[in-house]
Amino acid sequence: MKRTIRISAKHLGELAMPDFCARCFWIQLICGWRMPFTFFPGIFSTLDSHVKRVVAGYFAAHDRLPSWLPTGLGKPLTVPHWSKFSWFDESTEVLLVGAPDEMTRDRGNRISILDYKTAKYTENADALLPLYQAQLNSYAVIAERLGFGQVSSLWLIYCEPQPVDSKNPLVSCLDSGFRMDFAAKILPVQLETKMIPALLAKVRQIADMTEMPERREDCKNCQQLNNLIQNTLELTT
């Protein structure tokens, strides 16, 4: 009997990247998705939560979404906790989990899924689009399997920090600190849920490997891991 693999939509997206490294992915599986050199600053989670509160508060006050979001999305839905927003693929025995930042339902009962990114849209962000496409399509698969309805559109909302007015920087100064303005850049994401089963099958294939797969030659994470192992051995000998 195969062991059940639990994977987040974001980690699944790694398999869609052009520079995907099977060795790194295999190690992450073994380590429970914790790598010794990865770090995600908590400020980004705080900012994402703030955006969601702003959107919910605006809808409660005006009965419509803010104008900086895509038009025609309808009303926001309550997004379940990630532990309840999941789908078990019986063919691979992989449990796909995650929680989108925002879900909406329009008058035609169509569902839209949005993900907020607190970052400026750059060439580097563009390079991550394959990961984000797989991530958002994973959310779409889960939403449809849970009975929310048919997903019709996927969106990335980049919340870009705006530069301070150099002629009047004190306008951003408050008694308690300072403020920073953000502008939204909307990026539609291709809806292609058929890609998800193939990615889940690849997860199972890697998880069933009894030996560590070969590293990608130009993988920076592998090099970091090798350096960490080498430094540890030198310190302990």
Domains and CATH numbers, the chain: 5-236 (3.90.320)
Q: What span, in angstroms and rounded, lies between the C-alpha atoms of 113 and 58?
A: 18
Express each pLDDT in 186-205 by its tens digit: 999 999 999 999 999 999 99
Express each pLDDT in 93-142 by its tens digit: 999 999 999 999 999 999 999 999 988 888 777 889 999 999 999 999 99
pTM for this predicted structure: 0.89
Residue 124 burial (CB count, 10 A): 9
Q: In whole angstroms, how far apart are CA 208 and each of 2, 127, 135?
A: 9, 29, 23
